[in-house]
């Protein structure tokens, strides 16, 4: 399948209220989020500088609510009218965001929503069946109602929700990642005063307890959360998912115990798997006999996994590994000096150089450096 965004006709105008100024305060902007979890951020010259993601800001980077939005943005992958719908779906799923801007020339021409892509899939019976076969459900993490938001905060960072159960293990509701965010961003109802005799405002968080991690879980619980039977087919689950809010289903067994969950992200990820992922050209210099064949094959496998992961983020031309070993008088390798070069299609490259006494550790460190470099180049400064 090679459908472009233009062919799928899924590009929508940028909604009013989706844009925000880079000088706005994070707490104020997050408190205004309604139908989406992102904002398009512009500088004083009306130039797009990146996306604000509530999940990134709160769960990944833990920015103070008084941070200016311009410091919290990240630059999304650039999609155009000719971009593949499969690629967009995979990106939305990987970044855990519900929309991405689409460019026409040097300007943003619209946005593509995650739920529109799933709607598109549902309207094509053969495509729906194919995607349903690749669906992988999320495992559920449960917690009893007693406790505070702090008890579930760490577990919900990389999840859509926490299922709340009673003493018998039956579901009594759920708390979503979006629910928990409110413990960070809802200001108290009181007059706020700026620091150092600055003017009074209605958005400042000076000296205020913004985080409310000691709040009880029940304050954020949704009792009548959307559920489905674990016996339903994947096709039925996808169709039901489109009818509920929020767009998450908790699957239950016959005893009303939660056994999995399905969200738009799961569907998008399954859809993106339909793409034929081109293999990456891996060039690796074989080390000396001081590295066993098993260790070499293990490192080669790790490199292949790394290349596939990075290739989903940006199409790659090749990955090259060069090893320079420092040999001791006893003919043993004292250190492995590794140079890892990742070359995307088009132009530019990422280079990492590491040194370690272990061959595998040196290569792992180089891969981590490349991944960090890639993240930095995709973040707005």
What residue ranges define each of the domains in the chain, with the CATH number in brackets?
5-132 (3.10.580.10), 142-266 (3.10.580.10), 281-377 (3.30.160.100)
370 and 340 Cβ atoms separated by less than 8 Å: yes
DSSP, residue by residue, 162-186:
EEEE-TTS-EEEEEEHHHHHHHHHP
The sign of the CA dihedral 256, 260, 265, 266 is negative
**Tally of residues, the chain:** 381
pLDDT of residue 185: 66
The string over 179-191, giving b where at least 16 C-beta atoms fall within 10 Å of a residue's C-beta and e elsewhere, is bbbebbbebeeee
- The single residue listed with the structure tokens 């098993």 is 294
DSSP string, 227-255: EEETTS-HHHHHHHHTTSSSSEEEEE-TT
* Residue-level pLDDT at 155: 85
The pTM score is: 0.70
pLDDT of residue 197: 53
CB 209 within 8 A of CB 190: no
> Can you give the pLDDT of all 381 residues of the chain as single tens digits?
679 998 999 999 998 889 999 999 998 888 877 667 899 999 999 999 999 999 888 888 888 888 999 999 999 999 999 999 999 999 999 889 999 999 999 999 999 999 999 999 999 999 999 999 999 999 999 999 998 998 998 888 878 899 999 988 899 999 998 888 877 765 544 444 554 455 544 444 444 445 677 889 999 999 999 999 999 999 999 999 999 999 999 999 998 899 999 999 999 999 998 876 667 899 998 889 899 888 888 888 889 889 888 887 788 889 999 999 999 988 999 999 999 999 988 768 999 999 999 998 999 999 999 999 988 876 432
With H, G, I as helix, E, B as strand and everything else as coil, classify residue 119: helix
Cross-strand pairs, 159: none
pLDDT of 320 reads 94
**Which tokens sit at 346?**
């088009």
Do 113 and 12 touch, CB atoms closer than 8 A? yes
Q: What stretch of H or E contains 226?
A: none
Give dist(CA 319, CA 197) in Å, integer. 56
Beta pairing, strands 350-356 & 333-344: antiparallel
Q: How far is CA 239 from the centre of its chain?
A: 24
User: Which one, of 232, 213, 26, 15, lies nearest residue 108 by Cα?
Assistant: 15
């Amino acid at each position: 399948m090679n459908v472009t965004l233009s062919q799928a006709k899924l590009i929508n105008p940028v909604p009013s209220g989706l844009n925000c100024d880079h000088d706005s305060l994070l707490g104020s902007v997050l408190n205004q989020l309604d139908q989406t979890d992102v904002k398009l951020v512009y500088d004083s010259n009306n130039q797009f500088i990146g996306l604000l993601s509530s999940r990134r800001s709160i769960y990944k980077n833990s920015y103070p609510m008084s941070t200016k939005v311009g410091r919290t943005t990240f630059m999304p992958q650039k999609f155009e009218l000719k971009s593949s719908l499969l690629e967009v779906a995979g990106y939305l799923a990987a970044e855990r965001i519900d929309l991405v801007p689409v460019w026409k020339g040097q300007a943003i021409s619209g946005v593509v929503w995650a739920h529109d892509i799933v709607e598109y899939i549902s309207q094509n019976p053969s495509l729906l069946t194919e995607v349903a076969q690749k669906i992988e459900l999320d495992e559920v993490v449960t917690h009893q109602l007693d406790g505070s938001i702090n008890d579930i905060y760490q577990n919900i960072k990389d999840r859509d929700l926490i299922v709340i159960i009673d003493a018998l293990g039956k579901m009594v509701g759920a708390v979503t990642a979006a629910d928990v965010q409110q413990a960070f961003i809802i200001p108290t109802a009181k007059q706020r005063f700026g620091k150092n005799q600055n003017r009074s405002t209605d958005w400042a968080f000076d000296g205020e307890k913004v985080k409310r991690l000691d709040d009880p879980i029940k304050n954020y619980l949704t009792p009548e959360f959307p559920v489905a039977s674990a016996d339903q087919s994947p096709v039925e689950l996808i169709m039901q998912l489109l009818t509920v809010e929020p767009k998450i289903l908790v699957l239950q067994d016959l005893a009303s115990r939660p056994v999995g969950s399905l969200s738009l992200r799961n569907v998008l990820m399954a859809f993106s798997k339909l793409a034929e992922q081109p293999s990456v050209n891996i060039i690796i210099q074989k080390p000396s006999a001081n590295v066993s064949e098993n260790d070499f094959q293990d490192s080669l496998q790790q490199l292949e996994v790394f290349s596939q992961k990075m290739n989903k983020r940006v199409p790659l031309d090749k990955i090259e590994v060069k090893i320079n070993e420092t040999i001791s008088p006893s003919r043993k390798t004292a250190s492995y000096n590794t140079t890892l070069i990742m070359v995307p299609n088009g132009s530019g490259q990422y280079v990492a150089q590491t040194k370690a006494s272990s061959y595998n550790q040196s290569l792992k460190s180089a891969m981590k450096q490349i991944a960090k470099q890639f993240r930095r180049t995709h973040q707005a400064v």
